[in-house]
Structure 1
Amino acid sequence: MFERFTHDARQVVTVAQELARETDSPKIDSRHVLGGLATCGEATSALRSAGVDNKALAERIRSELSSDGLDAEALATLGIDLESVSARADELFGQGALRRGGRKRARGHVPFTSDAKKILELALREAIRLKHRTIDGRHVLLGLIRAECPGRATLAATGADLDELRAHLEQPEAKSA
């Protein structure tokens, strides 16, 4: 399938992988893919046309990924200041130590979660359905919109009208085959 990916779609996957490394995520999930879509390629203009502030979306994704597994509000009810604990852990053990939970920083290939794999599979299906020979960032975005995944929920939380975005992406002038 990856042989059908355009440079644009490959760049989205590369950015997703970089984001996973930066946020010390052990795997690439749908939010990492959405982060790639929000920051590079053809999908950024489609998101913008749907009223999405790409910079704010990218920041929201980074924040979600950085706080995964740690509930600051719940810890605060116990009198624990997560920010202070995190800062001290970073000071003692290196940047992102608390988020990594003792794991070494990911190097090389970062695997995909099942929801991220599903998005890429759906991107292929969208390209086939639209009779396009290649898969670009717009197809990946269509796959994300179609999937039930955290990335879709994050995108919806920005106020984007997913049905309107899908209709825009499916327009013939939105993609030259």
Structure 2
Amino acid sequence: MFERFTKDARAVVVDAQEVAVDLRTATIDTRHLVVALARREGTAAALRTTGLDPADVEARCRRAVEADDSLDGAALASVGVDLDEVRRRTDEVFGRGALERAGKPRRQRSHHPFTPDAKKSLELALREAVRLGDKSIGERHLMLGVLRADCPGGRVLQSALHDAGSDVAALRAAAQEPRAA
């Protein structure tokens, strides 16, 4: 399927992996894809058309991923431990992401695998491309795939759309515009 991805769609996948590294997550889910999509001009334009600020969408997704963090920063702060400072110092001494790797097998991965919801959204992106009669899978198809899947990234988008007084149907319509390719 990846051979059908456009250069821009491949860049979204690479950017999603960089987001996973930045957020110190072991996998790539649809929230990582939405962050990457919000940074791309074509899909950012579709977001703006529905009243969304791409930077706000990115921030919402980042907060949602961080909320899933297995280390509870608030609980640690209540006993005087600053988790961000612990992470910073651990990264300085042992390398980026050392705290998250602690206690896990030492096998280093050069990539972050996709979660089942991210895989499903990529499959749905292919279906959207076929439905629209397109020969390749672009950014807009990735956005449509996320919107069609029942997934964390889609739920963040739904919440943002609701807060902006819009809905998924409006974003789907905007994403289907050729300029969002």
TM-score > 0.5 by shorter chain: yes
Q: Secondary structure at the match of 2:52?
A: coil
1:111 positional shift: 1.2
Matched length = 175
Relative to structure 1, is the Cα distance of residues 59 and 140 closer, same or farther in structure 2, using a 3 angstrom cutoff? same
2:82 and 2:112 map into 1 onto residues whose CA distance is: 31
2:16 and 2:56 map into 1 onto residues whose CA distance is: 17
Runs of 4+ in 1 over 6 A off after TM superposition: none
Q: How does 1:1-177 map to 2 (within 5 A)?
A: 1-67=1-67, 68-75=69-76, 82-83=83-84, 85-86=86-87, 89-90=90-91, 93-103=94-104, 108-158=110-160, 159=163, 161-171=167-177, 173-174=178-179
Relative to structure 1, is the Cα distance of residues 35 and 101 closer, same or farther in structure 2, using a 3 angstrom cutoff? farther
- Aligned-residue sequence identity (percent) comes to 48
Q: Is the contact made by 2:42 and 2:180 (CA closer than 8 Å) also made in structure 1?
A: no
Question: Once structures 1 and 2 are overlaid, which stretch shifts more, 159-168 or 36-45?
Answer: 159-168
Q: Is the contact made by 1:41 and 1:137 (CA closer than 8 Å) also made in structure 2?
A: no
Q: RMSD value over aligned CA atoms?
A: 2.7
Give the TM-score, by structure 1 length.
Answer: 0.81
Unpaired runs of at least 5, structure 2: none
Give the TM-score, by structure 2 length.
Answer: 0.80
Unpaired runs of at least 5, structure 1: none
Relative to structure 1, is the Cα distance of residues 3 and 95 closer, same or farther in structure 2, using a 3 angstrom cutoff? closer
Q: Is the contact made by 1:30 and 1:119 (CA closer than 8 Å) also made in structure 2?
A: yes
1:20 positional shift: 1.1
